[in-house]
Structure 1
Amino acid sequence: MANTDEVKPFDELLNSLEIREDDPTSGDENEFAAVLANIDLQQLSSVASQVRRSTSPGTTDKLPSVGASFEGSYNILFPLDFEDGTRWLAKVPINGVPGKWDQPSADSMISEVNTMRLLKRETTIPLPEVFSFCSTTENDTKCPYILMSFISGKPLYDVWFGQHLGGVDMETLHARRMRALNDIGAAMAQLGKFTFEASGSPKFDEHGRPSGVGPVRCIDHTAMLERLKSDDDDSDDPLYVEAPTSEDPQDHYNFFLDLYPGKAPFAKGRTLVLKELIKWIPEPANDEPFVLTHPDFDIQNFIVSEDGQLRGIIDWDGVFCSPRSYGNEAYPSWLTRDWDPMMYGYQKSMDEGEEPDGCWEDSPETLKRYRIAYDEIMSKFRESDASMNLTRMSLVTENLFIAACDPLCRSGILHKIIDEISTVLELPERLDFTYLAEEFADGEIDYEVWATLKRGMEKLLQNAQ
């Protein structure tokens, strides 16, 4: 599709990322220091040139220049500029050096590449084209890499908060936001054609067709939190764990809760409350229970035009098959931030344009407005006999999954959900999360309280906005 917008794609993208031009030997000051010190950029340029000649006969023999690197979440990216103006990206994982790179990481990269190629082949979802990859450190560049096309556009964050970042009037802002949400909903709906009998990382046969699932590599937030408390380890490297495949959606939700059940009474009670809420999550019964899902459905992974048209969805690292209850029909995570108090930083002063210390946020009222709009968008793609509104449910289920995975967010999310249950039931005396956790820990939960909690959870899943 022709680009009719006057966009400065690379500059705009870099504005949302932290440029890394520091000394690769500077140690702890740069978490990507090991990759920067190890990678052979001249060989990376040479490999890209060879791949391009093989895929596009007759192209120039001149090696592409390698620009300043910039960071994604857990990857570092190198722009490769060819003489004719073509730009590629080389993506290298943060742990892509000997001694840190392991088989689960390699398996995750293989799944990522094959998933991207599958979606490129069988959907209209816009995403980078993968030209080549290597899932080991045993190559000329000395690091695993993916060579892919560069997507021209702006980070959605810059467009979504255009009233603060670009002086956009509110009517134009709303139109751009709605265009982005419509395009994103249409893209996410297409993931629904790829369903599975179990959770995990998609596996592929020799022809690139899905052939099942395997264990999925996950960030271990609990282990990373424990490391922060230690005086002996100041590393910033991500810590991973492999979650096994499961045919039971509850097992998928509960993986980290079972891995780290908690030792103190309150921590145990908090886990039991969370597990009870998870137990009451319904799943559609008319299809395979798991669906292909973007691993990080957040605002930084969407590239759009100036007017909000979706141009690319990036960062498929860690792609997995999730329960349908928080799968491809779920809300984008930037629309649910107010239900995760630990991460939500909204201040009323932002609405007057006062610049925040962190990122810009929407008010709870604005988030609710766009959740309603996205729910209406997704309703166009639901089958007429759909048994439940998975989009609306995901406001609760996605946050429960976050709470299960990340102990930092757990109490805040549970406080929020218990409070919302009290609201939806219009209880004269509100449920108290601390009391519930203590009662569950002691095994003395009152039946009437338990029944009220269950009834409220069922109603909340149907009515949460």
Structure 2
Amino acid sequence: MSTTSKQSSDDELEPQFLAIISDIDINVIQQLALTARLDYSTNSPLSCTVSPKPRTGAFNIVYEITFSDALRWIIRIPVEEPWTDACARSMRLDISTQKYIASKTSIPIPQIHAASMDTNNPLRHPYTIYDFVPGTNLCKVWNNASWWMGVREKDRVLRSIAKWMVELSTLEFDKIGRLDYDELTGTTTVVNYTSIREFHSDLNDSSETFGPFTSTHAFSSALIPGRRMARDTPMLALLQLYLSALPDSRFDGPPFVLGHPDFDSQNILIDEAGNITGLIDWDGVDVGPRQLNALSYPSWLTVDWDPLFYGRSAEASPEDNQAYDSPSELAHYRRVYLAAIDDLSEGRLTEVTRNSHILSTLHIALCNPIATSGIMDHIGKFVLGSSSMTYELEDAIKVGSWFALGPNPSTIAEVIINNEESLSEGSDGPTDDRSAE
């Protein structure tokens, strides 16, 4: 398993990374790797070396392991302090779900050779040992024109991804949640998420009662109150309205499917011939709505719907804009991807994918606070024709009775008529004293 991590100097690392790295014994990693290798090989004697300088990502520390017969593995150590039972549960579900997907599909997921979900091991840290997957992160070459020559065709890459996602979508479930897979019996159960913090990391709610859900609407509706209770705004109330109105009701219920939890180009590895060598980093994999999981568009094809993270602009230089696909190019790639889904599913899944980016964009707005404003402006252009109309609608929501009730109303809803509206309606109609309540 390769990673999207990078080598960093010690002065660039955060304290929690430095603390774990300083506590890691390379000799222990060697012994763990050799012990795991004995389960897969009779070659002997074997030895291995461990890269002294680890790579670091957002949430993991990674060491590369090279055996004396040139086979390569990696050991991945999560950075989470303190390590709790909830962390261990989530890691166990991640691993079991990856094994389930690998056993049921041809998706190139790195094989898992050993793991410990707790600190009760010689390393004194949880870890997972994977295959090393060679290749270059697709994000590093997607906008490199010199890469895409001859057989290196982007359309072929997109078709390969679509093939695996159609395959993944055949694994169907009746609920939304985390998948618990028992290798010994082959049984699967959709269980609750560890907590709502899997989606809203800034919330203090650590309960283990989030889900499972039986509809996309129920899932979305359960996510909204946390954001609104933390800091309510008319923008979030409008987002709630959009989540009720815009998703396609045909795909609200089951079947639900698995999907890559970060379906982006940094998690796809590609070789120099343009072949995909691996889909990596499945932390947080779950069973969810088809339009959010296997049958969504890859997220780098819909980045224009998330303005904060779309770096292309009319004000930027041509050189800077070369690092981003244009809106017309992104629209083209979406058509290519949809055509692949249509062909590979013989038309069965076309409508699921066609406008899946509407739901996935709304969920980004819901779960990523820094992206919410830009997405709401963009959705406003789609729904209302202009972002200025969005601001007017938010202003109207702000003075309405519905917004005043809040996300969890404790009073009976009533229509409150303000003075200006009352005067505009005239005084010759019947009066209703309840309007003052």
Against the structure 1 CA distance between its residues 369 and 105, is the aligned structure 2 distance closer, same or farther, given a 3 Å change threshold?
A: same
Match of residue 436 from structure 1? 393
Whichever residue aligns with residue 120 of structure 2, its letter is E
TM-superposed CA distance for 1:202, in Å, is 0.5
Q: 2:215·2:253 contact (CA, 8 Å) conserved in 1?
A: no
Whichever residue aligns with residue 367 of structure 2, its letter is C
Q: Which of 36, 39, 44 lines up with 1:51 in the alignment?
A: 36
TM-superposed CA distance for 1:153, in Å, is 1.2
Match of residue 184 from structure 2? 207
Distance 1:70 1:140 in 2: 21
TM-superposed CA distance for 1:173, in Å, is 8.2
Residue 311 of structure 1 pairs with residue 277 of structure 2:
yes
Match of residue 267 from structure 2? 301
Match of residue 247 from structure 1? 214
Q: Which runs of 5+ in 1 are unaligned?
A: 1-9, 228-238, 424-428, 446-465
Residue 337 of structure 1 pairs with residue 303 of structure 2:
yes
Match of residue 346 from structure 1? 312
Distance 2:217 2:263 in 1: 21
Q: 1:49·1:61 contact (CA, 8 Å) conserved in 2?
A: yes
Q: 2:313·2:321 contact (CA, 8 Å) conserved in 1?
A: no
Residue 156 of structure 1 pairs with residue 138 of structure 2:
yes
Q: TM-score, normalized by length of structure 2? A: 0.82
Whichever residue aligns with residue 166 of structure 2, its letter is A
Bigger Cα displacement from structure 2, 63-72 vs 109-118 = 63-72
Distance 2:307 2:261 in 1: 21
Q: Which runs of 5+ in 2 are unaligned?
A: 403-437
Instruction: Answer with 1 or 2: which has the greater Rg.
Output: 2
Q: Which of 371, 376, 390 lines up with 2:334 in the alignment?
A: 371
Q: Which of 146, 171, 175 lines up with 1:198 in the alignment?
A: 175
TM-superposed CA distance for 1:309, in Å, is 1.2
Against the structure 1 CA distance between its residues 141 and 240, is the aligned structure 2 distance closer, same or farther, given a 3 Å change threshold?
A: farther
Against the structure 1 CA distance between its residues 420 and 129, is the aligned structure 2 distance closer, same or farther, given a 3 Å change threshold?
A: same
Q: Which of 53, 62, 71 lines up with 2:47 in the alignment?
A: 62
Q: 1:128·1:150 contact (CA, 8 Å) conserved in 2?
A: yes
Whichever residue aligns with residue 379 of structure 1, its letter is D
Residue 145 of structure 1 pairs with residue 127 of structure 2:
yes
TM-superposed CA distance for 1:302, in Å, is 0.3
Q: Secondary structure at the match of 1:125?
A: coil
Whichever residue aligns with residue 320 of structure 1, its letter is D
Match of residue 233 from structure 2? 268
Match of residue 380 from structure 1? 343
CA RMSD after TM alignment: 3.0
Match of residue 380 from structure 2? 418
Q: TM-score, normalized by length of structure 1? A: 0.78
Whichever residue aligns with residue 18 of structure 1, its letter is K
Q: CA deviation digits over 1:298-355, x for unaligned, max 9?
A: 1110001113211100001100111123221111111111111121111458784348
Against the structure 1 CA distance between its residues 271 and 374, is the aligned structure 2 distance closer, same or farther, given a 3 Å change threshold?
A: same
Distance 2:18 2:36 in 1: 27
Match of residue 435 from structure 2? none
Distance 2:185 2:361 in 1: 33
TM-superposed CA distance for 1:66, in Å, is 3.4
Against the structure 1 CA distance between its residues 161 and 20, is the aligned structure 2 distance closer, same or farther, given a 3 Å change threshold?
A: same
Match of residue 77 from structure 1? 62
Against the structure 1 CA distance between its residues 398 and 260, is the aligned structure 2 distance closer, same or farther, given a 3 Å change threshold?
A: same
Match of residue 83 from structure 2? 101
Q: Secondary structure at the match of 2:355?
A: helix
Q: Secondary structure at the match of 1:328?
A: coil
Q: Secondary structure at the match of 1:395?
A: helix
TM-superposed CA distance for 1:71, in Å, is 2.1
**Among the aligned pairs, what percent are the same residue?**
26
TM-superposed CA distance for 1:251, in Å, is 2.6
Distance 2:269 2:304 in 1: 23
Q: Secondary structure at the match of 2:169?
A: helix
Distance 2:112 2:185 in 1: 13
